[in-house]
């Protein structure tokens, strides 16, 4: 087993490192897509200044499950919070100065909103040609649907995700997380990184236009060409992928267990682990196509076997015979798992509001420029007004007090 590399990421550190150290990002927008893009960039070392509306701030502060809402602690980590009223002219002028001090601006407002506020990307680029602007929206910045309101779930539906998720005899289901928003944000982050490479070569910034439905569409594998070429429409198939067998969740005495043996050689090893080596020679199961044609009966056969064993017993056999398999984890399982611990996949962060909170670490892992959680999420909207507006824009405390009284910040 390879030894772990020397890396950061052990909770909060004040050190300034990461692949994007020295990069300043101004994050406009709220809820998920824009803020998750900011989280990704911040985890990789960027200085992220989050602009929130005065008062309650980003609605994400009170989102999440459980009695205490702690999702904010993840999505707002590695950020400093300033408040700015983008609906008044002085606030728009203030935001403009802040944006022009940055390398990157990210936003996820409805198309046309920035332009209405006097923050049109074309105008910003005239003042600062090296600026990179990442825009995330439901349908993109142009097209017949561009002025429609769009949330992640709508993008998942339009992009093809929702239709194929769930049981075949029930309505389309959702994944359980806001995958449309986070996919859009991830592609927005990828766009920023590519634009930074282009800027390094040319000095030019640019606008990145990422649509929720297109981010979902990108991960739809062969869904479109399968219909275009074969007239085939993918349907909901529950826990299986039709024709790919065996690859399913099976029932053990004490819980569900995932096994993926949809390869001739691996299936032969599974047959041995089951004490049924003859299955690998059975014409119903010997080949990929044959297993796909007899998928239901094969799953039933495997489930009858696992039902007589505990998860530990099945797990031991899967490891012995080198078969891809594993438990279906909850957060409780993750916190107890030695592999998560060894790779520091989950770290404990001392937050300003909730004390110590465990959360997913910064990914991916870099050997030279480790990502890290350098600062906890800001506890209150605008808690960094004095520091950011003072350091970055040179605005003194008296002027900030005036703007606060007048509702600008």
Tens digit of pLDDT for each residue in 332-375? Answer: 999 999 999 999 999 999 999 999 999 999 999 999 999 999 99
163 neighbors 157 (Cβ within 8 angstroms): yes
Whether 394 and 331 map to the same domain: the answer is: no
CATH number at 282 reads: 3.30.1540.10
Q: What is the CATH number of the domain that holds 146?
A: 3.40.50.10540
Average pLDDT value for residue range 296-313: 98
Q: Is the pLDDT of residue 104 over 60?
A: yes
The answer to whether 84 and 393 have CB atoms below 8 angstroms apart is: no
Domain interval for residue 258: 247-335
Q: Which residues contact 87 (CB under 8 A, 6 or more apart)?
A: 117
Q: Flag whether the pTM goes above 0.85.
A: yes
- Which residues are marked as active site? 181
Q: Is residue 232 part of a domain?
A: no
At 46-86, the pLDDT tens digits run: 999 999 999 999 999 999 899 999 999 999 999 999 999 99
Point out the domain boundary residue: 273, 307, 335. 335
Residues 42 and 171 in one domain: yes
Do 151 and 126 lie in one domain? The reply is yes
């Amino acid at each position: 087993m390879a030894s772990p590399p020397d890396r950061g990421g052990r909770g909060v550190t004040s050190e300034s490192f990461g692949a994007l150290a020295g990069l300043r990002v101004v994050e406009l927008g709220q809820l998920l897509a824009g803020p998750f893009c900011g989280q990704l960039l911040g985890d990789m070392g960027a200085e992220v200044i989050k602009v929130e509306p005065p008062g309650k701030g980003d609605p994400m502060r009170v989102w999440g499950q459980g009695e205490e809402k702690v999702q904010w602690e993840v999505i707002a980590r590695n950020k400093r919070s300033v408040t700015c009223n983008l609906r008044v002219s002085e606030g728009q002028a203030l935001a403009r100065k802040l944006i022009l001090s940055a390398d990157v601006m990210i936003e996820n407002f409805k198309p046309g909103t920035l332009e209405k506020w006097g923050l049109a990307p074309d105008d910003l680029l005239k003042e600062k040609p090296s600026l990179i602007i990442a825009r995330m929206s439901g349908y993109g910045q142009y097209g017949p649907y561009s002025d429609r309101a769009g949330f992640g779930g709508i993008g998942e539906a339009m992009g093809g995700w929702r239709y194929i998720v769930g049981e075949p005899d029930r309505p389309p289901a959702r994944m359980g997380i806001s995958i449309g928003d986070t996919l859009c944000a991830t592609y927005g982050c990828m766009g920023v990184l590519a634009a930074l490479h282009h800027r390094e070569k040319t000095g030019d910034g640019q606008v990145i236009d990422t649509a929720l439905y297109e981010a979902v569409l990108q991960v739809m594998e062969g869904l479109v060409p399968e219909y275009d070429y074969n007239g085939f429409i993918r349907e909901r198939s529950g826990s299986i992928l039709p024709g790919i067998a065996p690859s399913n969740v099976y029932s053990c005495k004490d819980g569900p267990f995932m096994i993926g043996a949809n390869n001739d050689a691996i299936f032969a090893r599974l047959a041995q682990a089951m004490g049924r080596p003859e299955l690998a020679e059975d014409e119903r199961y010997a080949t990929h196509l044959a297993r796909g044609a007899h998928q239901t009966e094969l799953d039933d056969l495997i489930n009858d076997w696992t039902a007589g064993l505990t998860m530990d017993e099945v797990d031991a056999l899967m490891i012995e015979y080198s078969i891809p398999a594993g438990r279906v984890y909850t957060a409780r399982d993750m916190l107890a798992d030695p592999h998560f611990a060894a790779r520091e996949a989950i770290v404990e962060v001392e937050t300003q509001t909730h004390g110590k909170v465990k959360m997913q670490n910064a990914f991916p892992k870099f050997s030279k420029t480790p990502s890290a959680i350098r600062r906890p999420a800001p506890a209150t909207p605008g808690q960094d007004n004095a520091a950011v507006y003072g350091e970055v824009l040179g605005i003194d405390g008296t002027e900030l007090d005036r703007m606060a009284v007048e509702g600008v910040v």
